[in-house]
Chain A
Amino acid sequence: MDIVVKKIVREVKGGNQEAFAELVELYKDRVYHVAYRILGNVHEAQDVSQEAFLRAYTNLDSYDENRKFSTWIYRIATNLAIDRIRKKKPDFNLEDRVGGTENLDYHSQFADETPLPEEQIVKLEMQEWVQDEIMQLPPKYRTAVILKYIEDLSLKEIAEVMNLPVATVKTRIHRGREALRKRLG
């Protein structure tokens, strides 16, 4: 896997733009998923993950081939997502929360599976509830918790993604977990 990625990266660096599509294919789901969990909105998640790949392309020269590509692209994507949350804060976007616009979005992803059986609806509502609680976390805890418990990354990987010492990452995970314990526990 890593050898394949290295090869593609070199192709792209050598001027073969088309080869970049293979990188996108390999990482798009992970990037999109992380962006969605941080932002809780499909449109923003798509926007941010596309922007992340565009930035990866334009900054490919700064990518260190000795590191995992996934870590690098996660880093770009999570930074973009957090930036977006911070920019949104002053005029807290009513449209995104009131009336559950994002929930609607969430449902629309399963549109082709209608009608949903009772059990599925309960499951979906549970997912929405958990997602809402994740969204209540301060951004710095949110990323750490998502990377740890949803993406299942190691502490070392999370430290690389967030550009923080492992000890700091641990503290953030603990604080995030503590906050969620009160809401989800």
Chain B
Amino acid sequence: MACSREQRTLIDTYLDEEMTTREAEQLERHLQECPECRSYVDECSTAVARLRSMARLEAPAGFTDQVMKSLPKQPKRRQWKTWIRRHPMVITAATFFLVFLISLSSVMGGEETVSVEGSGQYLIDESQNMVVVPEDAVVEGDLVVRNGSVEVNGEVTGDVVIINGQHLQASTARISGEIEEIDESMEWLWYEIKDFMKDAFSFSGNGTENEDSR
């Protein structure tokens, strides 16, 4: 071998395209004179060109779906927990807010009187905030009771909707539709909490951004 190891290192630098123009010109002059170095460069270039000509393959069809299916299952509750873990301040604030709301609603509530919507026979007991459909009575369509409980012994052809009250089971009842109990104060509370959380979230979201961009 006529050329030294040093020459090889030079050629590597040349092949890496890391030479200055002057260095490259100098080496190219040597290549013209030295068949050994020239064939070394040619062979390397051919090998590299073959590597570069390799076709690009694509991931098989359905790849993404399969990956997604392989991910650990993530129940809704866990998302919530992760979120809480990340934002402990917010949950503390939310707890305070919840306590505040409960005390507020207990102050506000208690003075509404029972009201009923529905066509048919029923009894209203205002002292107990109670609506009774007697055993042989029929209410045509829906029965909506607000601020009171309902005891159906007879028949309701539609739904029974109780807002801020309870449905008392009776074995003789015949209700064709659904029974729905709505707690307005809770609904309202829930709505307020969700709204509050949303604001809190976007606020703390900005916070994390600052934290991350160190």
* Alpha-carbon gap, A152 to B52, bound state (A): 8
Identify the B interface with A (CB < 8 A). 12, 15-16, 40, 42-44, 46-48, 50-60, 63-64, 66-68, 70-72, 74, 78-80, 82-83, 86, 212
Q: Are B67 and A54 in contact (CB under 8 A)?
A: yes
Given contacts A17-B71, A31-B59, contact A185 B79 (CB under 8 A): no
Number of A interface residues in the complex (CB < 8 A): 46
* Alpha-carbon gap, A131 to B51, bound state (A): 9
Residues in B with CB closer than 8 Å to A177 are: 15, 44, 47-48
* Alpha-carbon gap, A58 to B15, bound state (A): 41
Residues in A with CB closer than 8 Å to B44 are: 177-178, 181, 185
Q: Nearest Cβ distance between residue A113 and chain B, in whole angstroms?
A: 12
Given contacts A15-B82, A21-B64, A65-B212, contact A149 B71 (CB under 8 A): no
Q: Are A20 and B71 in contact (CB under 8 A)?
A: yes
Residues in A with CB closer than 8 Å to B59 are: 28-29, 31-32, 46, 49
Q: Are B83 and A15 in contact (CB under 8 A)?
A: yes
Q: Are A21 and B68 in contact (CB under 8 A)?
A: yes
* Alpha-carbon gap, A54 to B66, bound state (A): 10
The residue on B at minimum CB distance from A51 is B70
Q: Are B51 and A130 in contact (CB under 8 A)?
A: yes
Residues in A with CB closer than 8 Å to B64 are: 21, 24-25, 28
Choose one: B12, B47, B55, B63; the contact of A180 (CB below 8 Å).
B47
Q: Pick 12 A–B contacts, CB within 8 A, sort by A.
A: A15-B80, A24-B63, A28-B59, A29-B58, A32-B60, A126-B50, A150-B54, A177-B47, A180-B47, A181-B40, A185-B46, A185-B47
Q: Nearest Cβ distance between residue B63 and chain A, in whole angstroms?
A: 5
Q: Are B56 and A33 in contact (CB under 8 A)?
A: yes
Residues in A with CB closer than 8 Å to B51 are: 130, 134, 145, 149-150, 180, 184
Q: Are A54 and B57 in contact (CB under 8 A)?
A: no
Task: Report if A57 contacts B (CB, 8 A).
Answer: yes
Q: Are A184 and B67 in contact (CB under 8 A)?
A: no
* Alpha-carbon gap, A148 to B191, bound state (A): 56
Residues in B with CB closer than 8 Å to A18 are: 68
Given contacts A24-B68, A28-B59, A127-B54, contact A17 B46 (CB under 8 A): no
Residues in A with CB closer than 8 Å to B55 are: 127
Residue among A17, A134, A182 with the most chain B CB within 10 A? A17
Q: Which secondary structure characterizes the binding site on chain A?
A: helix
Q: Are A46 and B60 in contact (CB under 8 A)?
A: yes
Q: Are B48 and A54 in contact (CB under 8 A)?
A: no
Residues in A with CB closer than 8 Å to B83 are: 14-15
Residues in A with CB closer than 8 Å to B42 are: 185
The residue on B at minimum CB distance from A33 is B57
The residue on B at minimum CB distance from A148 is B51
Task: Report if A174 contacts B (CB, 8 A).
Answer: yes
* Alpha-carbon gap, A29 to B70, bound state (A): 18
Given contacts A15-B79, A181-B43, contact A57 B54 (CB under 8 A): no
* Alpha-carbon gap, A130 to B64, bound state (A): 29
* Alpha-carbon gap, A173 to B71, bound state (A): 36
Residue among B50, B79, B86 with the most chain A CB within 10 A? B50
Q: Nearest Cβ distance between residue B20 and chain A, in whole angstroms?
A: 18
Residues in B with CB closer than 8 Å to A149 are: 48, 51-52
In residues 49-66 of chain A, which contact B (Cβ within 8 Å)? 49-50, 53-54, 57-58, 65
